[in-house]
């Protein structure tokens, strides 16, 4: 299952103006590691359901976004909450670490929401 693709043209609408959590996967066609995390992102999307929107951005085709978010490595995933970046992961240290880091951040946000008055 392919991730929803976002570009310079619709990034504001699809990510910055979306309430709640959005996980953005920055990748490039030449990046072998990027293809390795696709199944992990699909698993997270399935696990999280509607709690987190998961989208993909081709960094090569969207240089404005790549520059704005100062991408130095691919893949880079950035978790946004209500349009603000709150977590960034640009170092792939293995499947378990990748899943653990992202699940921890989503759980942290869910916990802080449940504790809000």
What residues are annotated to the active site? 31, 34
The answer to whether 55 and 15 have CB atoms below 8 angstroms apart is: yes
The two structure tokens encoding residue 63: 């240089």
Q: Between the CA of residue 29 and those of 17, 40, 54, 58, what are the distances in Å?
A: 27, 17, 18, 8
Q: In whole angstroms, what is the distance from residue 42 CA to residue 8 CA?
A: 23
């Amino acid at each position: 299952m392919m991730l929803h693709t976002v570009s310079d043209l619709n990034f504001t609408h699809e990510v910055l103006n979306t309430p709640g959590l959005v996980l953005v996967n920055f990748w490039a066609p030449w990046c072998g590691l990027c293809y390795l995390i696709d199944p992990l992102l699909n698993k997270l999307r399935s696990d999280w359901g509607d709690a987190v929107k998961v989208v993909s951005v081709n960094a090569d085709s969207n240089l404005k976004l790549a520059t704005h978010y100062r991408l130095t490595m691919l893949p880079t995933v950035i978790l946004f909450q209500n349009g603000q970046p709150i977590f960034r992961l640009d170092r792939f240290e293995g499947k378990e670490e990748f899943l653990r880091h992202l699940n921890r951040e989503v759980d942290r946000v869910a916990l802080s929401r449940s504790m809000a008055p």
